[in-house]
Amino acid sequence: MRVLLAGGAGYIGAHTAVALLDAGHDAVLLDDLSGTHSAAAERVARITDRTAPLVVGDITDDAVVEKAFDEHGPFDAIIHFAAFKAVGESTQKPLQYYANNLGTTFALLRVGIARGIRSFVFSSTGTVYADPVDLPFTEEATTSVDLSNPYSKSKRMNEVVLADVASVNPELNVTVLRYFNPVGAHPSGLIGEDPAGIPNNLMPYVSRVAIGSLERVGVFGDDYDTPDGTGLRDYIHVVDLAEGHVAALEKSAPGYAVYNLGTGVPVSVLGLVAAFEKAVGHELPKQIMPRRPGDVAATYCDPAKAARELGWQTRLTIDDACRDYWHWQQSNPAGYAGV
């Protein structure tokens, strides 16, 4: 199968490119490089010993998508990772988030359907689930467009668009993958998460504290109704997540389908910090902070549908994720910019 990965030089995209190439498929990366570096594509090729061509351009522009098809197609499938993804920033820049996160989908669908793709896999999020009492979230749990931030809203809007497109294109396989909390890095240390500025997510923040570029880990709330008082989250190793995309492509059938990709095993904030301290070999400075507005006590999924229908399940633990992320951080203290 020949696959176009929109946003393919990003954190999850690059790991999925490795998984696809290792599984014998062909991968072409399309990225505007606004949140990553061209080095990611070069390192995918180093890991797999196979070429992963990179096309650079604005994915909201049909002409850019057409260029990828003209130069590297035809493609059997598109996997769509391309999105602005900082939740906090999305509340400050809603127009940019809606324009990009919906516009990329529109361009990929317009060109992809016209060029005869048969499969479209969309990178969605577990934050589309609207009622925290539904735990663990199944694919039938309550969703909404009336969510707390434009990032999550844009993902749910995309799901609605894709369902409607699938309904009038019966030959098209549309698969929506709702991620929970991707963590970790490729065990080679060559590709990993490279957030700009101060990280928004917990593991890269903890890693920056461990490497010495940030002072301490802020723990937002220790009075939740959870075993240790800190929030529970479903952390999935990015390598497992990448393999979920391969399974979705290989098992997809015409129509519209939704799958949770997570472990189903929640880990607390302090639990993740302790696992990272184990990987580092010493304790890290921590500070308990007030709860953040909008945070919930727990969010995790039931991944049974993906196991049943895709034959996919996670293999790697939170300890594996911390070990691999720390290896990436030590090998790349300045991220891809240090190459």
Q: Three-state SS for 270? A: helix
Residue 77 to residue 87: CA distance in whole angstroms: 28
Active-site hit among 11, 151, 205, 336: 151
| Phi, psi values for residue 261, rounded to 5° | -120, 105
Q: Three-state SS for 327? A: helix
Q: What is the DSSP letter of 102?
A: H
Question: Which residue in the block uniquely carries the two structure tokens 């749910």?
Answer: 156
Q: Is 98 annotated in the active site?
A: no
Estimate to the nearest angstrom the gap between the alpha carbon of 113 and the chain centroid. Answer: 24
DSSP 287-300: EEEPPPTT--SEE-
Residue 332 to residue 278: CA distance in whole angstroms: 20
Burial 213-222 (b: 16+ CB within 10 A, else e): ebeebbbbbb
On whether the CB atoms of residues 322 and 279 are closer than 8 A, the answer is yes
Which residue stretches of the chain are H helix?
11-22, 39-48, 62-72, 87-92, 94-114, 150-168, 202-211, 238-251, 269-280, 304-310, 318-331
| Residues forming the active site | 151
